[in-house]
Homo-oligomer: A and B are copies of this chain.
Amino acid sequence: MSITAAQGFAAAGIAAGIKSTAKADLALVVNQGPRFDAAAVFTSNRVVAAPVIWSRRAVADGVLHAVVLNSGGANACTGAPGLEDAAATAKAVAQSVDCEPDDVAVCSTGLIGVRLPMAAVLSGIAAAADQLSADGGDAAAHAIMTTDTVPKQALAEGEGYTIGGMAKGAGMLAPALATMLVVITTDAEISAPDLQTCLQKATALTFDRIDSDGCMSTNDTVLALASGASGTIPDLDDFTTNLARVCWSLARQLIGDAEGASHDIAVEVTGAASEQDALEVAREIARSNLFKCAIFGNDPNWGRVLSAIGVTSAAFEADELDVTMNGVQVCRAGGVGDPRELVDLTGRECQVLVDLHAGEHKATIWTNDLTYGYVKENAEYSS
Contacts and interface: CB of A to CB of B under 8 A. Distances in A.
Interface string A10-22: 0000000000000
At the interface, is chain A mostly helix, strand, loop or mixed?
Answer: loop
B215 A289 contact: yes
A299 B382 contact: yes
A303 B214 contact: no
Nearest to A174: B311
Instruction: Say how many copies of this protein the assembly contains.
Output: 2
Contacts of A301: 112, 381-382
Given A214-B289, A287-B214, A370-B375, A79 B307 contact: no
A9 interface: no
A28 to B, nearest CB: 26
Interface stretch (A149-157, A196-204, A331-339): A331-339
Given A113-B336, A307-B217, A47 B318 contact: yes
Interface string A360-383: 000000000011101111111111
Contacts of A335: 77-79, 82, 113
A294 interface: yes
Interface in A47-63: 47-48
A53 to B, nearest CB: 10
Nearest to A47: B310
A298 interface: yes
A319 interface: yes
Contact of A303 (B76, B372, B383): B76
Given A79-B335, A113-B302, A335-B113, A213 B290 contact: yes
Nearest to A302: B113
Contact of A378 (B44, B289, B318): B289
Contacts of A114: 336
Of the four ranges (under 10, 10 to 19, 20 to 34, 35 or more), the interface on chain A belongs to 35 or more
A378 B290 contact: yes
A233 to B, nearest CB: 39
A218 interface: yes
Given A47-B318, A113-B336, A290-B172, A306 B216 contact: no
B375 A371 contact: yes
Contact of A293 (B218, B288, B304, B379): B379
Interface in A288-346: 288-290, 293-294, 296-299, 301-304, 306-312, 316, 318-319, 321, 331, 333-336
A228 interface: no
Contacts of A381: 294, 297, 299, 301
Contacts of A302: 77, 112-113
Contacts of A113: 302-303, 331, 335-336
Interface in A132-161: none
Contacts of A111: 303
Nearest to A288: B215
A46 B306 CA distance: 9
A40 to B, nearest CB: 19
A45 interface: yes
The 4 closest A-B pairs by CB, nearest first: A112-B303, A297-B379, A47-B310, A293-B378
Given A214-B288, A216-B310, 9 more contacts: A45-B307, A77-B331, A112-B301, A172-B307, A213-B289, A215-B289, A297-B380, A299-B381, A370-B378
10 contacts: A77-B302, A112-B306, A112-B307, A214-B287, A214-B289, A216-B307, A294-B379, A294-B382, A301-B381, A370-B378
